[in-house]
Amino acid sequence: MHGELPKSDTTVAPATAPARKKRNRWLIYLVVFVAVGGALYYVFGQKAEQQQRRGRFFAGDGPVPVLAANAQLADVPVYLDGVGTTRALNTVTVRSQVDGKLLSVNFKEGQDVKRGDVLARIDPTTFQATLDQAVAKKAMDEALLANAQNDLNRYEQLAATNAINKQQADTQRSLVAQYTAQVKSDQAAIESAQATLGYATIRAPLDGRTGLRQVDEGNIVRASDTSGIVVITQLQPISVQFNLPQQYLGDVNAAFAQRPLQVDAQRSDTDAVLDRGKLTVVDNQVDPTTGTVKLRAEFPNDKLQLWPGQFANIRLLINTLQQVVTIPTGAVQRGPNGTFVYVIKDGVASMRPIVVQRQDEQRTVVKSGVAAPEQVVTTGFARLTDGAKVTVSSGDTTPAAATDAPRRGQRQNGAPGASGQQRQNRGQ
C-alpha cells in the first residue's frame, strides 16, 4: 500500500504541465486580441470623428467664412500684346572710298561716336600730289586765258576801225572761250582731287556705337573691300518691330489716326517696363501666311535697355476705358448659364449673373450686373451657395488698384486675348 502512493503522484504531474501551458497561451491570445481591438477602435474612431466633422462642415453649419472685395470705378487701359525684335534705327558699315595704306585707327571698339568724328586715316600722299597738280594746271590755264583776253580786247578795237580783218578777232574770241572752258575743267579737277583727299580721312556718318574693328593699322584698304573698317549702330533712338493678329488691325488704325499710340517694351521674364515709346509705322499689308500685320515702334532708349537683335514683350495702348466698374478676377465664376459673382448684402451671399467687358489675370471690367461699391466674394466658394449666410474674414477687402502694370491674357467678351496672341506670335 505504501509502495503504490508514489506511483500515483508521478502520474498526475505530467498531466498538469500541458494544462498550464494551454492557459498561458490563451492569456497571451487574450492580451493580443485586446491590444489589437483597442488600436482598431482608436483608428476607426478618429476617422469617424473626422467624417462627422467634415459632414458638419459641408452641411453648412453656421456662416460661411469668405474673403471679399468692393467693386470700384477706375480708368482701365486697353492693351494689345505681342513679341517684338529690337532693331537699330540705322546701321552703317564704314568702308574706305579710296585705296591706300591705313595710317591710323582713331576709335576704340564699343565707343560712342558723333557724326563727323574721325575714325581712321589713310595715307594721303598721292591724293595731295594729284590736288597740287590740278591747282597748278588751273593757274597755267588762267594765265593763258588772261593773255588771250587781252589780245581779244586789242583785236576788237582794231576790227572796229577796219585795221584788221574781223575774222582774226573772231578767232581770238574762240580762243578765249576755249581757255575759259579749260579753267572750269581745271576747277572741277581740283574739286575732285579735294574730295579724294578728303576720303583719306574717314569720318563717322552718324551718331552711334562702334562695333568690332575689322582691320588694323598698316594694312592696305581698298574701296572694293566688303567687310569695311567698322560697323556703327545707332542705339538712341532705337526701333522694335512686332506683329499683331489681323483682327486687331481695325482698332489699331482707328486709334492711330486720332493720336500717337504709346508702346511699352517689357522684359520677357518679369514684364518690367524697359522703355516707353511711340508707334511709328503700321505695315501696308497683312502677311497671308501668318495672318498678322507688322508694326514698328520707336523708343528713345536713354538707358540703353534695348539692344539690336533683342527680343522684348510689347504692349500697345489703344484705348482707356473711363470710370468703369472693376472687380478682382478671382471673384468671377462660370457656370452653365455664363459668368456670375456672389454679391454680399446684409451678411447674405446672392448669386448674380454679370456681363464681362474685359478681363485679365488681376482685374475684370464688368459691363453690367454689379455696381460700385457692392461687395463680391473673392475666396471661399467651396461651401458657398445662393442665399448662404457668410462672414467676411479679416484681410484686404479692396480690389487691386488701377495701375499700368503689365497684364497678360486680356480677354474681351470671353474671347482669347493677349496671351493667346503672344503664343501665336512666338510660334511664328
Q: Which domains does the chain have, with CATH numbers?
A: 67-76+321-416 (2.40.420.20), 81-88+245-320 (2.40.30.170), 95-231 (2.40.50.100)
CA–CA distance, 343 with 347 (Å, rounded to integer): 10
Nearest 5°: CA angle at 383, between 381 and 384?
Answer: 60
Cell of 111: 565707343
- 199: Cα within 13 Å, side-chain hemisphere: 19
Q: Which of 16-25, 85-94, 386-395, 408-417 has the lowest mean pLDDT?
A: 408-417
Q: What is the pLDDT of residue 53?
A: 54
Count CB atoms within 10 A of the CB of residue 162. Answer: 8
Q: What is the pLDDT of residue 49?
A: 58
Mean pLDDT (whole number) for 42-51? 59
Q: pLDDT-derived band of residue 13, with 50, 70 and 90 as boundaries?
A: very low
Angle between the N-to-C axes of helices 166-199 and 125-160, in degrees from 0 to 180, rounded to the nearest 10: 160
Q: What is the pLDDT of residue 6?
A: 47
CA–CA distance, 108 with 115 (Å, rounded to integer): 16
Higher pLDDT, 400 or 62: 62
Higher pLDDT, 325 or 404: 325
Cα distances (angstroms) measured from residue 77 to each of 80, 262, 320, 405, 406? 10, 11, 4, 10, 10
Closest by CA to 415, choosing from 247, 242, 292, is: 247
Q: What is the pLDDT of residue 256?
A: 95
CA–CA distance, 344 with 60 (Å, rounded to integer): 17
Structural Rg of the chain based on CA atoms = 48
Q: What is the pLDDT of residue 419?
A: 40
SS3 257: helix
CA–centroid distance for 170 within its chain:
78
Count CB atoms within 10 A of the CB of residue 127. Answer: 20
Q: Is 260 exposed, middle or buried (0-12, 13-18, 19+ CB in 10 A)?
A: exposed
- Does the CA dihedral 355-357-360-365 come out positive or negative? negative
Q: Is residue 1 pLDDT above 60, yes or no?
A: no
Looking at every residue in the chain, the average pLDDT score rounds to: 84
Report whether 315 contacts 266 (CB < 8 A). Answer: yes
Q: What is the pLDDT of residue 329?
A: 93
Mean pLDDT (whole number) for 301-322? 93
Q: Which of 2-11, 292-301, 305-314 has the lowest mean pLDDT?
A: 2-11
Q: What is the pLDDT of residue 139?
A: 95
Q: pLDDT-derived band of residue 160, with 50, 70 and 90 as boundaries?
A: confident
CA–CA distance, 170 with 158 (Å, rounded to integer): 12
DSSP one-letter string for 79-133: EEEEEEEEEES-EEEE--SS-EEEEEE---TT-EE-TT-EEEEE--HHHHHHHHH
Q: Is residue 398 pLDDT above 80, yes or no?
A: no
SS3 306: coil
Tell me the β-bridge partners of 279: 297
- Does the CA dihedral 322-323-324-328 come out positive or negative? positive
> Per residue in 201-231, pLDDT tens?
999 999 999 999 999 999 999 999 999 999 9
CA–CA distance, 92 with 80 (Å, rounded to integer): 33
> Per residue in 171-198, pLDDT tens?
888 999 999 999 999 999 999 999 999 9
Q: pLDDT-derived band of residue 170, with 50, 70 and 90 as boundaries?
A: confident
> Per residue in 358-392, pLDDT tens?
888 889 999 999 999 999 999 999 889 999 999 99
Q: pLDDT-derived band of residue 43, with 50, 70 and 90 as boundaries?
A: low
Name residue, grid cell 486675348.
417
Going across the sheet that includes 100-105, the strands are 201-203, 118-122, 100-105, 220-221
3-state helix, strand, coil split of the chain in percent (to 5) is 35, 35, 30
> Per residue in 94-151, pLDDT tens?
999 999 999 999 999 999 999 999 999 999 999 999 999 999 999 999 999 999 999 8
Name residue, grid cell 577796219.
162
Q: What is the pLDDT of residue 276?
A: 96
Does the pTM of the predicted model rise above 0.75? no
Higher pLDDT, 408 or 229: 229
Cα distances (angstroms) measured from residue 320 to each of 266, 411, 416? 20, 15, 19
